[in-house]
Amino acid sequence: MLAFTAAKCSGVEPNTEDTKKKVEEVPKDTLILLETTLGNIKLKLYDETPLHRDNFVKLVTEGYYDGLLFHRVINNFMIQGGDPDSKNAKPGQTLGNGGPGYTIPAEILPQFTHKKGALAAARMGDQVNPKKESSGSQFYIVHSESGTQHLNGAYTVYGETIEGFDVIDKIATVQTGANNRPVEDVKIIKASIVNQ
């Protein structure tokens, strides 16, 4: 259901020496601030999912998410972003196929569930992705706890919202058109690492 339809990526892990150096400087329980056109969301990344944590930190540090849209929004379900093709996308343009060119091995842990505000990785469907590898950049934030529990054990949850639940509500309830894309763009103005 949260699968995106891009061609299968190569499975390259995002652990270059440069990335490792950047990530080593990041404190445990890293906090990420997403400044959006509808307000701010603060996320805590889980240390128990280091591949996803380090990759998200790498992309945030590089400014990858700045200017991208929440391109898929379903009320009482989730809000999805992280497609680089959404930067400066034309109205009505179909989104959801873009990424950085690699996938991340699954880090699905039973203690991290699809509660409201959970941060999880989008991925391609099981039929082409039996190992449940995550998109290199696309993520979603859960809007409804009751409506997403069926995803537990199928997608990697690697963080949670600690501030900005009202902003998630605002984004989740905007008017949408084709492919659940908001009629008026909801943009990530800037993503940054913030201190506790």
- Global pTM reads 0.88
Q: Residues 134-171: pLDDT tens digits? A: 999 999 999 997 879 999 999 999 999 999 999 999 99
Round to whole Å and give the CA distance between 33 and 110: 26
Give the pLDDT confidence of 27-37 residue by residue, as tens digits: 678 999 999 99
Full set of structural domains in the chain with CATH: 28-194 (2.40.100.10)
Residue ranges for the chain with pLDDT beneath 50: 1, 3-15
Q: Are the C-beta atoms of 70 and 186 separated by less than 8 Å? A: yes
